[in-house]
Amino acid sequence: MEFHSKAGDPASIPDDLTVPQFILDTHHETRPERPKGVPWLVADKSGNEIGLNEIHKRTNGLAVRLRDEYHIIQNDVVPELTQAIKHSKSTLIITHSDGLEVVTAAARQVGIPAWRVLVLQDQDGHSRPLRPGFEEYKTVEALIQQGSLSGEMVPGRKLEKGESKRLIAFYSSSSASTQYLWRLHKMVKISHYAFVANIIITSAASIIGPSSPSDNTTHAQFLGILKVTMIDRHLRALLRSLKITTAEVYYQLIKLLPQAYICQGYGSTETSGAISMPPLEPKHSRLNSSGVLAPGVRARVVKPDGTLAGYDEEGELQIRTPAIATGYLNDETAWLRTGDLVKIDRNEEIIEMIKVRGFQVAPVELEGCILDHPLVADVCVIGVPHPYSGEVPLAFVTLSPEGRVIPEADLKASIRKHVAENKAPFKHLHYVEIIDSIPKTPSGKLLRRELRERGKNLAIAFNMHPTPKAVMSYRELKEIGIVTCGIQADLGI
């Protein structure tokens, strides 16, 4: 079956505006009113306030210099991610000063000269000298100043109706986990329409009403380097990403912030951002839930045999949304296949889980528990097929420096014991595999699909997939987790 967002379709999405035209020149119906004098941006270090007129001036100044000095015009490819330089045939690189050494090394390998590498510094209104060895590189701030002084303008072109759906705004490097080829780092083509659509979809999921404070809100991302000691009475919502949150930490947050919405988001590069949004009820989402479909998003869950799943049936999540990317650079695709195995329950929440003898086990919960082990550096938990339990958890782990000097058998036993002491019997690990690194996307998302294939092979190699037999001993039943204290009598043991 096909699942539709309960929130319905988003507000009207213009198809004749570019991204800068929509953001800087248009007041959309979903945009909150901005009181006069409220800045658009605040420089975090200097505290300088930047208004709309200043943003217009700086944007045009940079555009003038990119056009005149570097001949950057429509359809030129200028991505920032170094892994994509060769694939995208880049002619200009803009990088933050922190990544300059890595970027210049990559640029040399593909023949991009130093004068076509621009440095983005922390903005404070001044262009500062670069550190020794990199003085020859130009800064973005210097170009903005030069372009602003020229007095020239780069006029925005009026698009035809529907043109923004075809006009590419930028290419974004993707892990391509949706195509199961994560090492290729494909370039996703994001149109102006798709990017604008994601802004509108996201705003529909998080409307700021007139009564909501907007001029005195400080976002936590600006306070990342500070230790916040007292925010509980001011915090209204906490959005978790796909990074691991232990069950213990999650329930402590609920206790600490009873008035706040605590939820998890889900999205991808190929959808220009959001796929799901937090449900309005209950206030605290389930640990293994990624929320409900965002406005305008349609989904289907496809089972391994190619048929469509219904409620509570597991399969691969596939998505349609107004914000979907145009495709991959040099590799068009028709359907957005996320590569994530999920189910959609009757509350229409997207759930990632392992099903052990009918019990639901959230991989993220086990991963959080395993990360508490002092010898574990990173972890990914997957479910592998099992003839008696349906699925069982298998953990791929990487070790801390201290763990690398301990015998492997002792480590595996220690990790399994750690989980057994902290989790219910049906959540116990069936096996632990130690590997060098956990495959992830550049943004840090676990690539479970690659490990699922390895897990299936391990299930066979380690006799985790034996042929069922009619009579099993008590020891064998206990080993696969069927025997617990409550049902031993029913089995006649």
Q: What pLDDT sits at residue 485?
A: 38
pLDDT of 76 over the 60 cut:
no
Note whether 344 and 380 are same-domain residues.
no
Q: To the nearest 10°, report the CA torsion of 22, 26, 32, 35.
A: 130
Q: Residue 163 contacts by C-beta under 8 Å, 6 or more apart in sequence? A: 15, 16
In total, the chain counts a number of residues equal to 493
Is 435 domain-assigned?
yes
Q: Is 107 exposed, middle or buried (0-12, 13-18, 19+ CB in 10 A)?
A: buried
Rg (CA), the chain: 26
8 Å CB contact between 312 and 343: yes
pLDDT value, residue 284 = 62
Share of the chain above pLDDT 90, in %: 9
301 with 317: CB under 8 angstroms? yes
Give the residue from 327, 348, 369 where a domain finishes: 348
Mean pLDDT value across residues 52-78: 78
Cβ–Cβ < 8 Å for 72, 92: yes
Whether 335 and 416 map to the same domain: the answer is: no
Whether 396 is covered by a domain: the verdict is yes
Query: What pLDDT is stored for residue 373 in this prediction?
Result: 93
11-51 pLDDT tens trace:
888 888 888 888 888 888 888 788 888 888 887 777 888 88
Give the amino acid at 343. K
Sole residue written with tokens 């990119």: 66
- Within a domain: 287: yes
The CA-atom distances, in angstroms, between 396 and each of 15, 404, 415, 433 are 45, 15, 11, 5
Residue 456 is part of which domain span? 359-462
pLDDT in tens, 234-290: 777 776 655 545 556 677 777 777 777 777 777 776 777 777 777 666 666 666 677
User: How many folded domains does the chain comprise?
Assistant: 3
- Residue 196 and residue 83 share a domain: no
Q: What value does the mean pLDDT of the chain take?
A: 74
Q: Which residue has the higher pLDDT, 179 or 84?
A: 84
The whole-number pLDDT of residue 480 equals 43
Q: Is residue 134 domain-resident?
A: yes
pLDDT digits (tens, 9 = 90+) for 377-409: 999 998 888 877 878 899 999 999 999 999 999
Please indicate, yes or no, if residue 13 is contained in any of the structural domains.
no
CATH of the domain at 398: 3.30.300.30
Residues 188 and 308 in one domain: yes
Task: Check whether residue 331 and residue 186 sit in a common domain.
Answer: yes
Task: Judge if 179 and 265 occupy the same domain.
Answer: yes
Q: Are residues 134 and 251 in the same domain?
A: no
Quick one: 339 and 366 in the same domain? no
125, 264: one domain:
no
| SS3 assignment, position 393 | strand
Residue 10's DSSP bridge partners are none
**What is the C-alpha separation between 422 and 367, in angstroms, rounded?**
12
**pTM given for the model:** 0.59
Residues 291 and 418 in one domain: no
- Do both 102 and 186 map to the same domain? no
Instruction: Quickly state the pLDDT bin for 327 (edges 50, 70, 90).
Output: low
CATH number at residue 181: 3.40.50.12780
State the pLDDT at residue 188.
77
Structure tokens at 250: 């999650």
Confidence tier at 182 by pLDDT (50, 70, 90): very low
Q: Within this chain, do residues 325 and 190 fall inside the same structural domain, yes or no?
A: yes
Residue 38 lies in a domain: no
Model confidence at 429, pLDDT cuts 50, 70, 90, reads very high
pLDDT in the model for residue 240 = 63
Check if the beta carbon of residue 329 is closer than 8 Å to that of residue 312: no
In a domain, 22, yes or no: no
Helix or strand holding residue 391 (H, E) = strand 390-399
